[in-house]
Amino acid sequence: MKNPMSLEGNNVIVTGAGQGIGEAVARLVVDLGGRAILVDLQGDKVGAVAASLGADRAEAHVGSVADPSFVQDMVGKVVARHGAVHGLVNNAGIVRAAMIHKMSAATWQQVIDVNLSGVFYCLQAVGRHMLERADAGDKSPATIVNISSDAGRRGTIGQINYGAAKSGVMGITMSAAREWAPKGIRVNSICFGVVETEMTETIRSDKFRDRVLAQVPMGRFSNPEEVSQPVCFLLSPAASYITGQHLSVNGGYTIGV
């Protein structure tokens, strides 16, 4: 039987792939038979991850998802080189914490630019290409996974910029899913709880750890390898009838929300 999660022959762009969850997703894309196109601001890191995967299966692009001309150029180069983009994982993200009454306009904007506008720029550039393929009668896979967060479902203290952006990502997912479903393009979100990466070092520290874990029915955090699997599930043919959904991957943190 063919593996229903196979990504054989799929070219998949993964943003924020220099470390953490994005790196794990890129590695699993390759393990599942695909080619990973890794995008990140950190050239040294993303270059090393791509090199470890092999030049025939992975390549690195250095730039910011918040820069629409970089995004357009990057997608154009990938299409010119490989013919098609079959998957996009909008994963790049940042945190810039401050309580609401102390947050500067610049701190607000920085997170919105990367975590919300960056998702839109990548989705739009890849979506235009996928629409062209669909209109030409090409039925090969066309799937987009946007990385959101429990912060987008429930709000968060000290990160209103992040919470607003992650709620917005779910809005982007629903609108794009509705607009593009007739063309065969699937768009879904994943909402993570707490995953062991650099981003969550503070909330996993001794000061907060027990308080946070008390709210997670499974009583543990996750790791990038574990959460990369549901991302690839949504990219794969196993999720062929799923679009416009927000899948929580959080040990039960938001049951019923």
Helices 160-180 and 105-112 meet at what angle, rounded to 10? 30
Asked if 121 is an active-site residue, the reply is no
With vertex at residue 170, the alpha carbon angle to CA 165 and CA 175, rounded to the nearest 5 degrees, is 120
Q: Based on the shown chain and the rule CB under 6 A, indicate whether residue 89 belongs to the binding site for ligand NAD.
A: no
Applying CB under 6 A, the span of 26-34, 47-55, 90-98, 137-145 interacting with ligand NAD comes to: 90-98
Site string for ligand NAD, 11-40 (x = CB under 6 A): ----xx-xxxxx----------------xx
CB of 20 to ligand NAD, least distance (A): 2
Q: Which of 121, 162, 241, 253 is catalytic?
A: 162
Q: Single out the residue of 32, 85, 114, 142 in contact with ligand NAD (rule: CB under 6 A).
A: 114
Q: Based on the shown chain and the rule CB under 6 A, indicate whether residue 192 belongs to the binding site for ligand NAD.
A: yes
Of residues 243, 119, 245, 233, the one with CA closest to residue 181:
243
Tell me the two tokens of residue 7: 């990504």
Smaller CB separation from ligand NAD, 123 or 133: 123
Applying CB under 6 A, the span of 4-12, 27-35, 60-68, 134-142 interacting with ligand NAD comes to: 60-68
Smaller CB separation from ligand NAD, 60 or 130: 60
Q: Single out the residue of 14, 66, 71, 125 in contact with ligand NAD (rule: CB under 6 A).
A: 66
Residues in Cβ contact with 242 at an 8 Å cutoff, skipping those fewer than 6 apart: 186, 188, 234
Q: Single out the residue of 79, 94, 97, 103 in contact with ligand NAD (rule: CB under 6 A).
A: 94
Q: Single out the residue of 122, 199, 231, 235 in contact with ligand NAD (rule: CB under 6 A).
A: 199
**Spatial distance between the Cα atoms of 29 and 14, rounded to a whole number of angstroms:** 9
**Could you tell me if 192 and 250 are in contact, meaning their C-beta atoms sit under 8 angstroms apart?**
yes
Q: How many residues bind ligand NAD (CB under 6 A)?
A: 29
Q: Based on the shown chain and the rule CB under 6 A, indicate whether residue 200 belongs to the binding site for ligand NAD.
A: yes
Smaller CB separation from ligand NAD, 64 or 140: 64
**Could you tell me if 30 and 97 are in contact, meaning their C-beta atoms sit under 8 angstroms apart?**
no
**Spatial distance between the Cα atoms of 59 and 56, rounded to a whole number of angstroms:** 8
Contacts with ligand NAD by CB under 6 A lie at 15-16, 18-22, 39-42, 64-66, 91-94, 114, 118, 147, 149, 192, 194-195, 197-200
What is the set of active-site residues? Answer: 162
